[in-house]
Structure 1
């Protein structure tokens, strides 16, 4: 019986398969019913455990030292970062070579406990031990089930018990003792040993690109059909403007006239109205940030790819996009704290051209009667050579209908908030957690949500771009919500080599 954390268990499975590292193998994912990105699986899982009977009748092994790749395989290795060619290689030749096979049978109980579970891991471990003793030692028929996965009773919520059997007769309800007697007659593959195909590329120039592509493929598990698009977006990501690019001189004085105030004699939240332009590069995330020594100036930052993917081009659109005329409807004018003070326009900002994505942003303050209103302005560029083929997705738990007052607060919050989860650090920026915050808590932070709204390789299928955004007010804070879209190249298939 073995109980470990997710990454430790993955490493143990890899050791059994003669693999190094902690990237989950296909066997590991199949046994614990994981199917998504390894980062998200690891974040959502508290502990893993298993207990069972393993029978090896015989083993077939190849001599690793005598293995070499055929010349046509070596010639197919791309010598540069060419996503289409790298995807074609992985699709054609795979990532690993089988060098050993164990034949026999196994009857195993796997336990997967989610982070949301309130049960102590030791209690889950005790439950597994009891199930294993009943099934394997006492041969208790009451321990058998009619499905592969069941949920425990209410006291053991968010714990999955997974029964896996391989080899022997395939009757699901066959008692364990009877199943044991059939393994000799009906053996199956119960384990394999592998070596990475990249370990046989010694002497092949520039094979590091393939090594990196395979590592990304194994880590994030994109589909083979979309692998070339996924790889196109695995470029360094940067934030604009660069940290400490603050306005100076005349620009700073002009911005002193742009501010919000949320209560009588309350502090002023100044607005950095300088447009942020990332050039002809896709934007993958947005965030609000408090700049200045006093952290009293609100700015918008944009995460973008360091260069443009090869399968499409961008053409600049001449005009920025503001919320449309209906945005000035009072239903979109959300108060932050008190209704007689500054407000936020929460209307979505989108481009009517479906083939456009965001490449610039700006926040502005406009007077509407006696009130100052914060607006979001976006700059778009038209995509050439690719089309938006999937339905755009807005992050967050609510739609884009106009809301107001108390109703807005109620609709924007789930009835039962999910438990907090650790987020994997996948940023390649200089400041992966965002620009450094001061040692003290800024007074105006209670009015602004500075969380990063972004998608990367850990968000399947891993090649999202920002195609719209909106300001919202949640729990008395100004926040951003982002609309994402997927760009796919016009050819339906990757051309095959003959």
Structure 2
């Protein structure tokens, strides 16, 4: 903010003056206008001495508002005087008098854009505000759901942690549960340990092949590192409910030896819409000669919560195509011509772990990968509105490959009525 008094000098194409001469003319005009404090000011029309009669009003394109200008026909020079701030409309006011009016009537001289957080340096919480602004600019969540979105933007990690997994040789196998996949082929061992994340919402699931030979099936949970402040959890009373019998229509044969290995594909979800997953376990049960793989989930109830919208089920993207080669080529030819989906943006990995994607795996792909889909089923800030939680899951078989189908829910905390009492007017 302040004032500005500038002289512009433009040389026409027809002028024969050298650049050094034009620069000297401009310096002389500036000295007479700005440095001569004894004289009231240099009159614009007297800028060229004897050439007063040829002065006329001109306008330059690069000048912001109606300036005063004069033209010297002998040298083909145009001089323009532009003032901003102070009594800028009084073109005849000497420069030294105009300076005294700037303080009373300042104007915007220059502007630059600065981040809002730069104005809060040293203020407690400035880092959190900067992080929140960056998250909003990156993911563009709905403004009416910004509070819930920011509450869920906490660090995420997978359970169990990789430091808890036995990487060295073991004297005895942790789990004897296994599924025979073929008569002479390898067996798929199953880790039956419960993975419990405590009172922390789960945002993703995945099947994983652990062990030295990558032949032990396990389930991993991605969860928030802490509980959002808007949520309160308590144990679901139906956690330990085990049905006495299973519906045989959900038994699906698994592997080449289909008579002996099956997967139970019934969806696992709580009867309460406000319950979310906080633990998972794989279990193998024997039914005669058959061995059946089950999925068990641990639920926690969110207190005073309500569903924002209907839950959504999502399966692995790796198993989306079920048709044959010819039908796939035909459908792809016509569908891509009609509608081409937008490419999915790459996820931003902010995990600082040594192996954020999991422990190192052999260069040669494990043989059991043709039976197990290890795709990560998760939702994060890139999935609008950005605060999805896992509320159910099921095992499924597609084209002979075991995978997960996950149920996601959006929950918001309901504020009790007593926190906002109604005013009673008599």
TM-score by length of 1: 0.54
Q: 1:386 aligns with which of 287, 305, 327?
A: 305
Is 1:317 the counterpart of 2:236? The answer is yes
Contact 1:269 1:296 in 2 (8 A): yes
**3-state SS of the aligned residue for 1:437?**
coil
Cα drift, residue 435 of structure 1? 3.5
Aligned equivalents of 1:312, 1:368: Cα separation in 2: 41
Contact 1:233 1:463 in 2 (8 A): yes
Aligned to 1:81: none
Aligned to 1:144: none
Structure 1 alignment gaps of length 5 or more: 1-55, 61-98, 102-191, 399-407
Is 1:453 the counterpart of 2:372? The answer is no
Q: 2:156 aligns with which of 227, 237, 241?
A: 237
Aligned equivalents of 1:58, 1:364: Cα separation in 2: 80
Check 1:448–1:387 CA distance in 2 against 1; reply closer, same or farther (3 A cut): same
Aligned to 1:297: 216
Cα drift, residue 324 of structure 1? 5.9
Contact 2:347 2:382 in 1 (8 A): no
Cα drift, residue 371 of structure 1? 1.4
Check 1:480–1:440 CA distance in 2 against 1; reply closer, same or farther (3 A cut): same
Aligned to 2:407: 483
Aligned to 1:354: 273
Aligned to 2:358: 434
Check 1:261–1:370 CA distance in 2 against 1; reply closer, same or farther (3 A cut): same
Cα drift, residue 269 of structure 1? 0.6
Check 1:421–1:384 CA distance in 2 against 1; reply closer, same or farther (3 A cut): same
Aligned equivalents of 2:203, 2:403: Cα separation in 1: 17
Deviations 1:390-415 (A, max 9, x none): 100001389xxxxxxxxx9669xx96
Aligned equivalents of 2:404, 2:187: Cα separation in 1: 20
Contact 2:316 2:405 in 1 (8 A): no
Aligned equivalents of 1:302, 1:59: Cα separation in 2: 62
Aligned to 1:151: none
Check 1:320–1:440 CA distance in 2 against 1; reply closer, same or farther (3 A cut): farther
Deviations 1:180-230 (A, max 9, x none): xxxxxxxxxxxx984432232234333111111000000000111110100
Cα drift, residue 458 of structure 1? 0.5
Deviations 1:338-367 (A, max 9, x none): 432311111110011111100000001111
**3-state SS of the aligned residue for 2:162?**
coil
Aligned to 1:187: none
Aligned equivalents of 1:59, 1:385: Cα separation in 2: 60
Is 1:425 the counterpart of 2:331? The answer is no
Deviations 1:305-343 (A, max 9, x none): 000000121102355468867853234424344432311
Contact 1:343 1:373 in 2 (8 A): yes
Aligned to 2:128: 209
Aligned to 1:468: 392
Aligned equivalents of 2:182, 2:286: Cα separation in 1: 17
Aligned equivalents of 1:310, 1:300: Cα separation in 2: 28
Aligned equivalents of 2:322, 2:267: Cα separation in 1: 17
Aligned equivalents of 1:100, 1:220: Cα separation in 2: 35
Contact 2:306 2:413 in 1 (8 A): yes
**3-state SS of the aligned residue for 1:352?**
coil
Structure 2 alignment gaps of length 5 or more: 1-60, 66-107, 421-426
Cα drift, residue 485 of structure 1? 0.2
Aligned equivalents of 1:395, 1:100: Cα separation in 2: 56
Aligned equivalents of 2:372, 2:380: Cα separation in 1: 24
Q: How much is the aligned-residue C-alpha RMSD, in angstroms?
A: 3.7
Q: As a proportion of its length, which structure holds more strand?
A: 1
Look at both structures and tell me which one has the larger radius of gyration over its CA atoms: 2
Q: 2:254 aligns with which of 332, 335, 343?
A: 335
Check 1:346–1:421 CA distance in 2 against 1; reply closer, same or farther (3 A cut): farther
**3-state SS of the aligned residue for 2:130?**
helix
Give runs of aligned pairs for residues 268-287 of structure 1, distance below 5 A. 268-287=187-206
Aligned to 1:158: none
Is 1:264 the counterpart of 2:188? The answer is no
Q: As a proportion of its length, which structure holds more helix?
A: 1
Contact 1:455 1:464 in 2 (8 A): yes
Aligned to 1:31: none
Aligned equivalents of 2:389, 2:263: Cα separation in 1: 25
Contact 1:320 1:380 in 2 (8 A): yes
Give runs of aligned pairs for residues 110-121 of structure 1, distance below 5 A. none
Check 1:477–1:100 CA distance in 2 against 1; reply closer, same or farther (3 A cut): farther
Contact 1:237 1:428 in 2 (8 A): no
